Structure 1
């Protein structure tokens, strides 16, 4: 393999690996933030401090609100749309049986379905609250 063939393989691999790493870091940050909140509540209860239910409810709504699901859903739909647009505008040559444009269209399905699921969860959560 020459340098150009390696570049054709490594560039998409690095780009998609960076996206996966970024999403993993975001998920890890959100997990740690929620865990710290729950540890604070647990410590307060162990010290038998009185926490008014309104305080717990307000802080919990900040972490577990339907608006966050809406934001996640819209973000994932935009991500899916950007992958589809990239696949549409990029003209990859077909090597053997693999068509990279079809593969990218298939990859775009996952964030689209996840985005729709988050939007559905946000809608169901809003109907439950009101």
Structure 2
């Protein structure tokens, strides 16, 4: 394999690996934040401290609100639309059986469908809370 072939393999691999690593770090941060919140509640209950239900409810709504699902859904839909727009405006030459524009369109469906799912979850959560 020459340098050109290695570059064709390594560049997409590095880009997608960086995206996966970034998503993993974001999810790890959110997990640790929620775990610290639950540990704080547990320590308070062990010390027999008085925690009014309103305080717990307000903090819980900060972590688990339907608005967060709506924001995630809108962000993922915008991300999907931007990948679709890039695929539409970029004119990649066809090499063999691979058409990069079609591949990007396929890749854009994942965040788009996830965004629709988050928006649906936010809507169901709001209907359930009424």
> Match for residue 128 of structure 2?
128
* Structure 1 segment 1-130 matched on structure 2, within 5 A: 1-130=1-130
CA RMSD of aligned residues (A): 1.6
Instruction: Identify unmatched segments of 5+ residues in structure 1.
Output: none
**In 2: Cα distance, 1:88 partner to 1:3 partner:** 30
Q: Secondary structure at the match of 1:92?
A: coil
Give CA-to-partner distance per residue, 1:94-130, whole Å, 9 cap, x none.
2222222211111111111110010011111112222
**In 1: Cα distance, 2:114 partner to 2:105 partner:** 15
CA shift at 1:82, angstroms? Answer: 1.4
Q: Secondary structure at the match of 1:91?
A: coil
CA shift at 1:17, angstroms? Answer: 2.1
CA shift at 1:29, angstroms? Answer: 0.7
Number of positions where the alignment pairs a residue of Structure 1 with one of Structure 2 = 130
Instruction: Identify unmatched segments of 5+ residues in structure 2.
Output: none
TM-score, length basis structure 1: 0.89
CA shift at 1:28, angstroms? Answer: 1.0
**In 2: Cα distance, 1:65 partner to 1:120 partner:** 14
Quickly say closer, same or farther: Cα 1:91–1:10, change in 2 above 3 A.
farther
CA shift at 1:4, angstroms? Answer: 3.9
